[in-house]
Amino acid sequence: MARISRRNLLKVAASAALATGAAPTLARADAAAKSPSRYAFFTAAEASFIEAAVARLIPDDAIGPGAIEAGVPAYIDEQLAGAWGAGERLYRSGPWQPGAPSQGYQLPFTPAELFRNALRALRDETRGSGDEFERASAETQDNFLRDLQESDRDLNGVPAKIFFDTLLSMTIEGYFSDPVYGGNKGMAAWRMIGFPGAYAQYYHLVDRHGLAFQREPLSLGENGRGLVQPDPNLPAAIHPGHS
């Protein structure tokens, strides 16, 4: 099910919007303005695949912006380039055995290693065939993503469906998370679902019932003039040796 309907996405919007700590590394201030040639983690070829994939997972339509417009690739790139991508809070001492779904992530790779290994394998599969994912039709891209979702084939040690599930989760996170993490550009996803963001001054509304709550959303890092300013003291380091 490569193309995710907006109705299904809205079912997870509330939890995703609040779960901004899922990938704890804050994006740097210039994340929203990145061009594909200036990604911190992704190579140009990897960026092309990621951009095309997230554009199919959350396409732009009349209801709201797609993943590209919301800056999702920048969000994923920043998380993989930072502390979360390096697995700084990830248990990595094994044993590395297949686990039940309830046991969560069981692979020996950091998130950055998982993406790098899988993306290299996918590039090797199509190299020289003229069938690069980003050049394919929308239908072909959907079929390719569906195959990843349902397949156990090996992508340099990463099961295909594990890579797909991780990519989908990060796409949803980047779409609905607080903009300080690099995605949800302009808080467009929050405006689409009517989520107020980090607004916490509800005292004057406690005794008012049956009224729609309508206001512009507020980011965790927003100053009084509407600018989102990530905390520079929080880690967002690029780790060497990832190219």
Give residue 11's pLDDT. 46
pLDDT tens for 20-38 read 444 444 433 343 344 445 8
Residue 200 in tokens? 């916490």
Q: Is 240 helix (H, G, I), strand (E, B) or coil?
A: coil
Amino acid occupying residue 19: A
Residues paired with residue 72 on neighbouring β-strands, in sequence order? none
Q: What is the pTM of this model?
A: 0.76
pLDDT band at 46; cut points 50, 70, 90? very high
Q: Is 112 helix (H, G, I), strand (E, B) or coil?
A: helix
Task: Output 224 or 188, whichever has higher pLDDT.
Answer: 188
Give residue 208's pLDDT. 82
**C-alpha distance from residue 25 to each of 21, 28, 232, 238 (Å):** 8, 9, 11, 11
List % helix, strand, coil for the chain (3-state, nearest 5): 45, 5, 50
**C-alpha distance from residue 187 to each of 18, 190, 193, 228, 243 (Å):** 13, 5, 10, 10, 31
In 3D space, the residue among 155, 172, 88 whose CA is nearest the CA of residue 116 turns out to be: 155
Give residue 95's pLDDT. 80
CA angle 230, 232, 238 (to 5 degrees): 100
Q: What 3 state SS string does 51-92 have?
A: HHHHHHHCCCCCCCCCCCCCCHHHHHHHHHHCCCCCCCCCCC
The segment with the largest mean pLDDT, out of 8-12, 123-127, 155-159, is: 155-159
Every domain of the chain and the residues it spans:
6-92+100-196
Helices (H), 101-240: 111-126, 138-150, 160-176, 188-193
Are 73 and 50 spatial neighbours (Cβ–Cβ below 8 Å)? yes
Task: Output 110 or 95, whichever has higher pLDDT.
Answer: 110
Are 80 and 106 spatial neighbours (Cβ–Cβ below 8 Å)? no
Give residue 159's pLDDT. 94
